Amino acid sequence: MQTPKLFALLPEEYVCTPDGMAIYSDGDLILACPNYADTKKQGCLLKIGENKRIKKWIDVPVLKETGLACPMGIAFGPDWDIYICDNQGWSGSPELQFKGRILRIRIEDDKIVKTSVVAEGMEHPNGIRISGEYIYVTQSLLTKVKDPSGLLVSCVYKFHLNDENIRVANELEDKNILTTFITKNKDCQYGADGIVFDNKGDLYVGNFGDGAVHKITFNDDGTVKENQVWAVDAGQLQSTDGMIFNDKGELFIADFSANSIARVSTDRKITRIAHSPDTDGFNGELDQPGEPIIWKGKLIVSCFDMVTGPGIVNTKHELPATLSELVPE
């Protein structure tokens, strides 16, 4: 079992809730901060460079109707425009429930030069990955969809890189829904979350409440060939937030609820490789890990540190927000 180390304490003046990460063309690490713990702090992106130099990169443009921007998952396109899951409805406030967006932002010399909306009206856009000409987005809740089982339905949406102003209905009739999931764990009705592609082009999605990783394979025309549970072990993995593959084909998963990081080997065996008790994270402990990424040979983990309740190790929010680091092996 590894002992997490402190990678960074984040600036309190503009960060209280860190989440998704991606690596920019210059090699710097980009961190999305939806700042749910204090909505007076505008949702922003940080840029982390050599010697852990941290600066605010941009404030994410707010939705005029709500005055908010809540960037969670982020991914760069082939032209280095950044695509952002603006999860307005994460808090559960009824007035924000169907206000989520997928944004495309072009940044030059640390300034926004163009912003477009790929999709809008989304209930709960969370994780995002790009493969080929398409954007794949997990939507953790589809509350308009009533399954006969009474259980939660969630999905992955698929958009073209150049799509604009698609208005989604958050219903199965949406033509952009790629595949759906049902969360069987009645004690944690929260669905599709972490998302990543392997080097063969297969898609992996974490069903958060079930602590299960699904593998999605494709037909030649890009439609789904199969969506099946690929890895699950309740003793080693409780929840599935952000995920990342290393070069060996091993999958690392942020176990948000359990304050842990798990590794899935190439033979699908799940092993918990790091765990922290309830903590403030100031010494690098895992304080509700939300997203892992491999950067400069280290596994960097953002600590969301906000959600509390049954089945969750975290009991309160503390500042400053933190990033942890591990060895990705």
In terms of pTM, does the model score above 0.85? yes
**Dihedral angle sign, alpha carbons of residues 290, 294, 295, 298:** positive
Q: Does residue 259 come out as left (phi exceeding 0), alpha (psi in the -120 to 50 range) or beta?
A: left
CA 109 to chain CA mean position, Å: 26
Count of domains for the chain:
1
Residue 329 confidence class, pLDDT cut points 50, 70, 90:
confident
**Dihedral pair phi/psi, residue 156, rounded to 5°:** -115, 130
Domain housing 144: 5-326
Residue 115 confidence class, pLDDT cut points 50, 70, 90:
very high
Query: pLDDT tens for residues 258-311?
Result: 999 999 999 999 999 999 999 999 999 999 999 999 999 999 999 999 999 999
Mean pLDDT computed over 163-180: 98
- Round to whole Å and give the CA distance between 185 and 292: 24
The neighbour count for residue 226, using CB atoms within 10 Å, is 12
Single out the residue of 255, 206, 258, 252 nearest to residue 230, CA to CA: 206
Please report, for the domain that includes residue 231, its CATH number: 2.120.10.30
196 pLDDT above the threshold of 90 = yes
- Round to whole Å and give the CA distance between 43 and 59: 6
